[in-house]
Amino acid sequence: MTKSVLITGAGSGFGRDVALGLARLGHKVIASCQIWPQVSDLRAEAARLGLDMKVIKLDVLSEIDRNHALAFDFDVLFNNAGIMESGPVAELPPEIVRRIFDTNVFAALELAQGAARRFIARGAGRIVWTSSVAGLVKVPWDGAYSASKFAVEGFCLAMREELAPYGVEVCTVNPGAFRTGFNDTGMEAQDQWWGQGERVMDHWPVRELTKQADPAEMVEAMIRVITQENPRYRTVLPKAAEDMARREQAEEWERKL
């Protein structure tokens, strides 16, 4: 069955690949990008590939942009836009923490609320959130990002139960480390502020990012979750990340200081 899907964060990474993949399959895609250059680039790519895809500007922090996007007709909201900036919690500038939560939690929530109102009136619809493995386990030096995804998990669990009686479905996709560039830039962001002011902690040693997985696996799973009937509530990939999350969650119950 053909779906109409509004995708946030389609300017790069998973969002871009999912948008193109859905369009290739014949679904109606409203792909939203944070800035105009991303809009132009994605429009050009869709034209080059011969894909019929609507591309709009949506900075999720802009109420004007959110209202514009929510005015389109769609069956599924893929709440995918997000940012990550690394740093130890004890030294992380509050400005960065607020920016992460504004993007990953509050803006995403407002979009989900707007979609939910429409879906409730219609008696059908699906909201798919890009969460993270980081929303399920500890992630030292990425505590703000992890905390934002824990918040996403809490909202999704509540919305799943609250919206089910109205025929509205809620589910998550939880990527581990994939080669989209997201983790690389998120980690590098710490260097922007680390040298500004006196620090009491050591800067982390350079973390190797050589074990990131091919994003194609996650993109295919995201497309399945968006389009198929009765997907799993939570989809964690790669499998090694799911195994790690299950193991660490169990270990936390028995952990002592």
Both tokens of 197, joined, read 């002011």
Q: Considering the candidates 14, 119, 145, 178, report the single residue annotated as catalytic.
A: 145
CA neighbor of 141 nearest in space, from 188, 102, 105:
188
Dihedral, CA of residue 33, residue 39, residue 45 and residue 51, to nearest 10: 80
Coarse DSSP helix, strand, coil percentages of the chain, rounded to the nearest 5 percent: 50, 15, 35
- According to DSSP, residue 102 is labeled I
**Could you give phi then psi for residue 55, rounded to 5 degrees?**
-120, 125
Q: How many CB atoms within 10 Å of residue 250?
A: 9
Angle at 182 between CA 196 and CA 106, to 5 degrees: 80
User: Is 145 among the catalytic positions?
Assistant: yes
Q: What is the C-alpha separation between 212 and 215, in angstroms, rounded?
A: 9
Q: What is the 3-state secondary structure (H, E, C) of 39-57?
A: HHHHHHHHHHHCCCCEEEE
Both tokens of 123, joined, read 């008696």
- Helical ranges in 92-135 per DSSP H: 94-101, 108-122
Both tokens of 58, joined, read 């949506």
Q: CA dist 233 to 108, 170, 224, Å?
A: 18, 7, 12
Please identify every residue annotated as catalytic.
145
